[in-house]
Amino acid sequence: MAVIVNLDVMLARRKMSSGELAERVGITPSNLSILKCGKAKAIRLSTLESLCRALECQPGDLLEYRGG
pLDDT at 47: 96
pLDDT at 67: 86
Structural domains of the chain, ranges and CATH numbers in brackets = 2-66 (1.10.260.40)
pLDDT at 1: 58
pLDDT at 63: 95
Residue 40 burial class via C-beta count within 10 angstroms: exposed 0-12, middle 13-18, buried 19 and up: middle
Sorted by sequence, the CB contacts under 8 Å of residue 13 that are 6+ apart come out as none
Which residue stretches of the chain have pLDDT < 70? 1
Say what the pTM is: 0.90
Q: Give the whole-angstrom CA distance, residue 37 versus residue 18.
A: 12
